[in-house]
Structure 1
């Protein structure tokens, strides 16, 4: 039941993060922090809904975001499935998860950015992609090179923020979420 409350909070966090990154022209998006949080805490379907609704809401202000609905839905699904498999409990699993999330984001967004927008969406990473293309790289190589680096950085920052927030949630509250028990330490389970 609490999962329903997490969705609007996640959408709001995504909106604020995305707006900050856009206004500051950061070479990352920060618009999946809430999606990742929802997926980590509540599972894949809540994460997917939070991700999809985020792009619907942000698409009102910036229609470019409508095209990326599948990317954010995939982020929520993959994060939720990784949470179910307890991939966020051990440091080496975290690294694998962050790399996997970055790969999913780049591979799912590449066709949209390159084929629909010609490689440039107006985000901070578009400036770097354009510079790589001006230096002679083809559009696909420029996009994958730029996005690969900055999506990984974006995911690392997003996961760290989510993990820090989850760590301060009391165990009695964590047990109320689908994947919350995964983050309760053994000493607190007794």
Structure 2
């Protein structure tokens, strides 16, 4: 019995398989270690970036360049969102919209799970639509209206968008959809107040 086991261990195919297994384990551990180092590096860059964003005198273009150096999507999402907020505070809405547009593309191309991607993209799209309302840009906003997931919150946002651009039938239709899904009485009354009624 022992001889058979020893012969099995001497089998060249077993030895090759064992060698490959050792190599794969070594590669996995190395990549895991590299990922941890990369995460640590990105976190340190995030702390430094955040400190620069807080300082009003920091050049916006310099921050943009620095934000492009982040490679992990989670960190990129944070720094780009900070940058977009800074652009909004400085009334630079075009830059804010461009940042969110790029974040939307990056989010779609990321390796996030479907549910996480959906939640993040929903937030990004909402920001893009609200910025387009402020920019009075119906066509750009409409592109993202069509990308919204169908839920109560988004129906209400859709209604706000159409109402701003005086497309009252579409607005009321969206508000009605929001009302169908809303259960909170206070929120229901608030949405009803948003609807536009004819004077006829």
TM-score w.r.t. the length of structure 1 is 0.29
Structure scoring higher RCO (CA < 8 A, sep ≥ 6) equals 1
- Which entry has the higher C-alpha Rg, 1 or 2? 2
